[in-house]
Amino acid sequence: VGTRTIFDTIVDVDFSKRPFRMTGDGGDIYEGDTLVIATGAQAKWLGLPGEEELSGKGVSACATCDGFFYRGKKVAVIGGGNTAVEEALYMTNHSDDVTLIHRRDSLRAEKILQDRLFANPKISVLWNHNVERFVGGGDPLGLVGLDLVDTQTGDKSHLSVDGAFVAIGHAPATEIFKGHLDLIDGGYIEVEPGTPKTQIPGLFACGDVMDHIYRQAVTAAGTGCMAALDAERFLAEQEFELIAAE
């Protein structure tokens, strides 16, 4: 049995019967007795001036990935949910000056996370503020600050920071699976706890498309290995049942 790589974009799926059926954007049909979904998730961005240009040059969407580069520096975290609070708390491992910027006057994060945030002396919260622009400077170009606007008064201000982490959540690539698979809050694929198994036998999901908690390369790789092992086991069981029936 060989392995081959095909580059295509799947535009439609049919999981109602086996073999599972996928349709590419050019009309090609792909079928499989098992399927592992590993379409991942993308961090949500603000779409503001300077954000794209300064990505990787002071602007990031992953504190656990890039936080080390800002050891001893001043950083900001943008957002008000669990992701933002967790990122801000994590950054206190590297920075003594962390500012959480939120557009409202209260957080959406779980209370236990908020309690930890407010109790941490390294973190200050800037309420009722939106970021208008990521400001770059220096040679080589890097982030030097954020242009802000007060959501209540409209007053403009500037916050000098070395790093800014956009923490407004992630969007799993599951649009094509709506109506075909059970999805949980945020659009992540629902799996049996501790496994990559979906509600459909022989159909597995791994990585960030089903993991809304850790979202790390190492955990994605781990669930990918689990999905591959479960898929192989499923096929072996199907073959055994077919032989037994004969």
Token digits of residue 119: 């109790």
Contact partners, residue 47, CB within 8 Å, separation at least 6: none
Catalytic entry in 65, 115, 182, 225: 65
Cα–Cα distance, 78 to 153 (Å, whole number)? 19
Active site residue 225: no
Active site residue 14: no
Residue 74's DSSP bridge partners are 97
Task: Tokens 């992540």: give the residue.
Answer: 188
Nearest to 44 by CA among 72, 83, 85, 86: 83
Contact partners, residue 33, CB within 8 Å, separation at least 6: 18, 19, 20, 202, 235, 238
Active site residue 66: yes
Task: Tokens 């060989």: give the residue.
Answer: 2
Catalytic residue annotation: 62, 65-66
